[in-house]
Amino acid sequence: MAFLLNLTWLLPTLTVLIIMLLPRDRLALLRGVNLVSAVAVLALVIGLLIAYVVQGPDPAYATGAVPRLAFVSRFAWFPALGMEFFTGADAISLLMMLMAAVIAVCGVLVTWTLTDRAKEFFILMQVLLAGTFGCFISMDLLAFFLFNEITLIPTYLLIGIFGSGKKDAAAMKLNLMLFGGSALIIVGLCGLKVVGGSFDMAVLATSEAIAGNPSFQSWAFPCLFLGFAILGSLFPFHTWSPDGHSSAPTAISMFLAGVHMKLGGYGCLRAGLYLLPEGAEQWMWVFLILAAVSVVYGALIAMRHTDLKFINAYSSVSHVGLVTFAFAAMSLTGLRGGVLQMLSHGFVTALVFALIGMIYSRTGTRDITKMSGLMKRARFLGVAFVLAGFAVVAIPGTSSFVAELTIFVAGFADNPTPLRLICAVACVSAVVLTAIYVLRAVNQVVHGPGDPGQLAPMTWAERAPVIILLVCILGMGLLPGWLIAALDASLDPIIMNMGR
């Protein structure tokens, strides 16, 4: 089973090699390999998740403050550095991987008709997937860091080569800012290694040396948390994300905003809150304020933009800000709400970016002031866009409602300080702002008296991802019970560490 877990990143790596060997003019074959690989990873992740839910964690990881891992494997990698290749997964990482795998399949389908330099595109995309899955299963922080760095390379090329608009500048801005975040992270990691004596998350989580060293925590936590928060596009370090996500090609926007950005939240949770809870206690008020500002500010700017991709990108800043806000509550409800929001926003934003891509390829514009009456010519697209809008607004029945309700409850719970109360009220007010910009976009694009003219019909490769993502959003919104139970068990060690 441990090998199967590693297959999630080995399979994309293998796919890279296969695609490299294939001739570039055999497009159908290239696409086929790409799709088969993505579907295989998805099947693998679903199987692993079922196995995890049925079996639970390995006995060695079932109690105490260690992560609730299963499918554990360890290889010595750089013994001199004390670095092991230590992989394993708990419910948090498996659910994140499920979301990533679903979005990967949808992304492959969305790029079905790509012909220009398709081989290179597929290679880079699979590298991105390999890096991302590697991140989610690495329980050695240095390996986690390395995989995270690996994802930045294909991101740069995918935006720079295949993007649109000011793609060069956007790609550079994205990479420079994320590298800046990485620099902060590596400082924190070195500190952890020096004080805790290891990069091993299970060792660090139970390390007395870290727990008994508040002065270390008070400088290491902001480094790690801020480094990852930049990847999670926290105000005021968010400006790379709207530029990057809007310049990227559709499938990459879906993956970057849906999955890659969540590596930030995931890192904040795993490396920040989990390992350095006292530092978190000390610094959280700063991140609370930044999160609340992100939420409101992102929504406000989304109201001003007229480019659909920018609207969704700023909406992502707003909705991912809720993740940090939820974490800042530092309670089980808050952490669960944050993870639920990461999952939910992944599906929702991927769906919105996919739909924007399909609209753009038909109408040739992303400017909402130049669009009207899409419903007249593209019923499926119009209905899907309205439903996606409802998901962004967090209508009950969609995944975002479950996540946002949990987050807001966490925000007001546990005798909030006046600061948290103000931030919570600000975040709730963003619910109204969201309704304004979403309905503005929906009414402009889908409704209205205009006629966009004859539009190309939807192909199956376009319908399939829309339907898959809608099923995920509604499924998570209607039946969140098992998800919450699984998450709570895996969040338990983090809560335990916070209470120590």
Partner 1 sequence: MADLLSAAWVLPLLPLGASLLGLLVHRKAALCAGISIGANAIASVLAVLTVVAWLGADTPTVISTLDWFTVRGDVVLRVGSMLDAISVMMIAMVSVIALMVSIYSVGYMRDDPSPGRFQALLSLFVAAMLGLVLAPNLGQMFVAWELVGVTSYLLIGFWWHKPGAVSASKKAFVVTRFADAFFLVGLIVLALGAGSLDFAVLLAPASAEALAAQGGVFGCNLLTLGTGLVFVGAWGKSAMFPLHIWLPDAMEGPTPVSSIIHSATMVVAGVFLTARMFPLADAGGSLVLAEVTGAVTALFAAAVACVQRDIKRILAFSTLSQLGYMMFALGVASQAHPDGFTASMFHVFTHAWFKCLLFLGAGVVIHAVHSNDLDHMGGLRRKLPITWLACLAACLAISGIPPFSGFFSKDAILAAAWGAGHKGVFALGLVTGGLTAFYMFRMLILTFHGSYRGDAAQLEHAHEDKWMVAPIALLALLTVAAGWPLQSLFAHHMVPPGVEAGHAGHPAWLPWVAAGAGLAGLVLAWLRYGRTPRMSALAGWRKALFDQLGSNCAWRWLLNRVLIGTIAKVSRQCDEGAIDGSLRGVADGAQALGMTTRWLHNGLIARYLMVMVAAAVVTLVVLGGMP
Q: Using the rule CB under 8 A, give the single segment among 184-192, 193-201, 326-334, 361-369 that binds partner 1.
A: 326-334
Q: Does 361 bind partner 1 (CB under 8 A)?
A: no
- The rounded distance, in Å, linking the Cα atoms of 135 and 411 is 29
Q: How far apart are the first and last CA of the chain?
A: 33
Which of 189, 301, 470, 473 forms a contact with partner 1 (CB under 8 A)?
301
Out of 74, 119, 376, 377, the residue judged to bind partner 1 by CB under 8 A:
376
Contact call for residue 484 and partner 1 (CB under 8 A): yes
DSSP collapsed to 3 states, 51-73: HHHHHCCCHHHCCCCCCCCEEEE
Shorter beta-carbon distance to partner 1: residue 64 or 165: 165
Please report whether residue 499 would count as binding partner 1 according to CB under 8 A: no
Residue 198: φ, ψ to 5°: -165, 165
The region of 99-107, 266-274, 327-335, 343-351 touching partner 1 under the rule CB under 8 A is 327-335
Task: Note whether 446 binds partner 1 by CB under 8 A.
Answer: yes
- What is the sign, positive or negative, of the torsion defined by CA atoms of 298, 300, 301, 305? positive
Minimum distance of partner 1 from residue 411's CB (angstroms): 8
Query: For residue 21, with 0-12 CB atoms within 10 Å meaning exposed, 13-18 middle and 19 or more buried, which class applies?
Result: exposed
Q: Which stretch binds partner 1 (CB under 8 A): 30-38, 41-49, 206-214, 373-381?
A: 373-381
Query: By CB under 8 A, what part of segment 157-196 binds partner 1?
Result: 173, 176-177
Least distance to partner 1, CB of residue 471, Å? 15
In the complex, the smallest distance separating the C-beta of residue 110 from partner 1, rounded to whole angstroms, is 26
Q: Of 374, 366, 383, 345, which is closest to residue 477 (Cα–Cα)?
A: 345
| Binders in 258-297 for partner 1, by CB under 8 A | 297
What is the smallest separation between the CB atom of 240 and partner 1, expressed in angstroms?
9
Query: Least CB distance from residue 242 to partner 1, whole Å?
Result: 9
| 496 CB-near residues (< 8 Å, 6+ apart) | 64, 65
* Cβ proximity to partner 1, 22 vs 458, nearer residue: 458
- Which window, 195-203, 207-215, 330-338, 466-474, contacts partner 1 (CB under 8 A)? 330-338
Touching partner 1, residues 388-417 (CB under 8 A): 390, 393, 395-397, 401-402, 405-406, 408-410, 412-413
Q: Does 218 bind partner 1 (CB under 8 A)?
A: no
Query: What are 397's two structure tokens?
Result: 């029945």
Residue 164's alpha-carbon distances to 36, 152, 159, 200, 381, in angstroms, are: 28, 18, 8, 41, 22
Stretch binding partner 1 (CB under 8 A), from 158-166, 223-231, 356-364, 447-455: 447-455
DSSP state of 257: I
What's the closest the beta carbon of residue 484 comes to partner 1, in angstroms? 6
Binding status of residue 429 toward partner 1 by CB under 8 A: yes
Find the part of the chain contacting partner 1 (CB under 8 A) among 50-58, 73-81, 354-362, 424-432.
Answer: 424-432
d(CA 254, CA 267): 20
**Shortest approach of partner 1 to residue 360 CB, angstroms?**
21
Q: Return the residue of 6, 239, 361, 365 that touches partner 1, per CB under 8 A.
A: 239
Torsion of CA 25, 29, 32, 37, to 10 degrees: -100
Could you say which DSSP state residue 81 is in? G
Q: Residues 81, 432, 456, 471: which binds partner 1 (CB under 8 A)?
A: 432
Report whether the peptide linkage leading into residue 222 is cis, meaning its omega lies within 30 degrees of zero.
Answer: no
The CA distance from 24 to 30, in Å, is 8
Please state the closest distance from residue 295 (CB atom) to partner 1, in A.
12
Dist CA 500 CA 497 (whole Å): 5
CB of 209 to partner 1, least distance (A): 34
Site for partner 1 in 463-482 (CB under 8 A): 480-481
- The encoded tokens of residue 75 equal 């290889």
Q: What are the residues whose beta carbons fall under 8 Å from the beta carbon of 15, sequence distance 6 or more?
A: 33, 34, 37, 126
| Whole-number Å distance between alpha carbons of 422 and 402 | 22
CB nearer to partner 1: pick between 74 and 377? 377
Task: Give, in order, the Cα–Cα distances in Å from 345 to each of 149, 213, 352, 391.
Answer: 23, 36, 10, 9
State which amino acid sits at residue 54. Answer: V
Q: By CB under 8 A, is residue 53 in contact with partner 1?
A: no
The residue among 276 and 301 lying less far from partner 1, judged by its C-beta, is: 301
Q: How far is the CB of 463 from partner 1 (least distance, A)?
A: 16
Which H or E run includes 87? strand 83-89
The binding site for partner 1 (CB under 8 A) comprises 173, 176-177, 236, 239, 297, 300-301, 303-305, 331-333, 373, 375-376, 390, 393, 395-397, 401-402, 405-406, 408-410, 412-413, 421, 425, 428-429, 431-432, 435-436, 439-440, 443, 446-449, 480-481, 484
